[in-house]
């Protein structure tokens, strides 16, 4: 996992775990605290950070063995009564009614993100672009007019950021070029329902774009929900591409225009995609896969495959189906 300090991108409200419990006592059903500590972060189960909160939803429980094996200080927050009873004497743990419903309330008591009216930062106007005083832009890089570079962002050596780009909550590797009107690091699309009404699901992750990448014009790359969205080294994205939260794209991948990748998709190295390809969320595409234009990928794809059609299937099978359908229609 890539290590980054979330406090560079959001404002941390420092408080001890005991104080956090006191603030939220009306929504906490039960708790057991073995070690008090100062809260510094929020973690996913895949990347446990020291002195952090970890939300464990009973519907999406996974990798909980990591909690037993880690030496990091943390407090688990769960809506799973059985999980609470099993672990209440083994770890710091809080039982609540619903992690989905209370996630934002709990998060707002720890962080102020740029999705909050309370968020504040200071900017410098350089060559017609607003650049945060808390961002780091290498002096060898060029930022064209009309751009916004937010708090904590790191722009590496020899990068080119074209006009009217918005870059927030992001780390950009060296020798990367980003074309006009692209937005990187905004919050993803997450609106779970609470009693029949949708509510905004906060994002506190970042975007990491590797070295020697090319990002086309009018693209959108969403920040991770808790961890990060990754475009690895030597990736080439065409214009008008959307990359949703938590997506991981491996090295040397190329994606043609008007393609969309849903949240939490994992793509291996050397992926090649034609235009207007759509990929459903939470699936895994292994390395060396080619997707023909207008493919709709709805399930995991093995490595070294060539797929086409909707739903995407082996391209030779897809061609056979085309021939059969043509004969039927004669």
Q: Give the other-Cβ count within 10 Å of 91's Cβ.
A: 18
Instruction: Judge contact between 214 and 231, C-beta under 8 A.
Output: no
Paired tokens of 103 = 């996630």
d(CA 267, CA 270): 9
Q: Which whole-number Å values give the CA distances from 34 to 108, 188, 271, 317, in the listed order?
A: 24, 35, 47, 58
Stretch (H or E) spanning 22? helix 17-23
CB 211 within 8 A of CB 176: yes
Q: Which of 15, 45, 79 is nearest to 246 (CA)?
A: 45
* Contact (CB, 8 A) for 115 and 201: no
Catalytic residue among 24, 203, 242, 245: 245
> Does the active-site annotation cover 242?
no
Residue corresponding to tokens 């699901």: 201
Three-class DSSP category at 285: strand
- C-alpha span between 85 and 153 (Å, rounded): 42
Residues annotated as catalytic are 245
């Amino acid at each position: 996992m890539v290590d980054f300090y979330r406090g560079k991108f959001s404002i941390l409200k420092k408080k001890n775990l005991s104080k956090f419990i006191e603030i939220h006592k009306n929504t906490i059903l039960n708790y057991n605290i073995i070690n008090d500590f100062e809260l510094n972060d929020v973690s996913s189960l895949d990347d446990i950070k020291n002195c952090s909160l970890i939300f464990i939803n009973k519907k999406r429980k996974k990798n909980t063995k990591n909690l037993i094996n880690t030496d990091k200080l943390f407090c688990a927050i769960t809506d799973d009564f059985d999980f609470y009873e099993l672990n209440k004497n083994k770890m710091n743990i809080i039982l609540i009614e619903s992690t989905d419903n209370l996630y934002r309330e709990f998060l707002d008591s720890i962080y102020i993100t740029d999705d909050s009216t309370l968020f504040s930062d200071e900017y410098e106007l350089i060559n017609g672009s607003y650049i945060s005083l808390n961002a780091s832009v290498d002096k060898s890089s060029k930022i064209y007019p009309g751009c916004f570079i937010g708090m904590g962002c790191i722009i590496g050596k020899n990068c080119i950021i074209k006009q009217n780009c918005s870059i927030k909550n992001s780390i950009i590797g060296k020798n990367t070029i980003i074309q006009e009107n692209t937005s990187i690091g905004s919050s993803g699309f997450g609106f779970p329902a609470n009693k029949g009404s949708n509510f905004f699901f906060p994002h506190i992750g970042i975007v990491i774009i590797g070295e020697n990448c090319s990002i086309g014009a009018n693209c959108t790359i969403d920040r991770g929900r808790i961890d990060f969205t990754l475009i690895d080294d030597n990736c080439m994205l065409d214009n008008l591409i959307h990359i949703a939260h938590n997506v991981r794209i491996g090295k040397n991948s190329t994606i043609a225009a008007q393609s969309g990748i849903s949240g939490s998709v994992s793509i291996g190295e050397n992926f090649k995609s034609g235009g207007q390809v759509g990929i459903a969320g939470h699936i895994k595409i292994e390395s060396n896969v080619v997707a023909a234009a207008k493919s709709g990928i709805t399930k995991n794809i093995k490595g070294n495959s060539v797929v086409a059609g909707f739903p995407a299937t082996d391209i030779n099978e897809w061609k056979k189906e085309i021939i059969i359908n043509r004969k039927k229609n004669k």
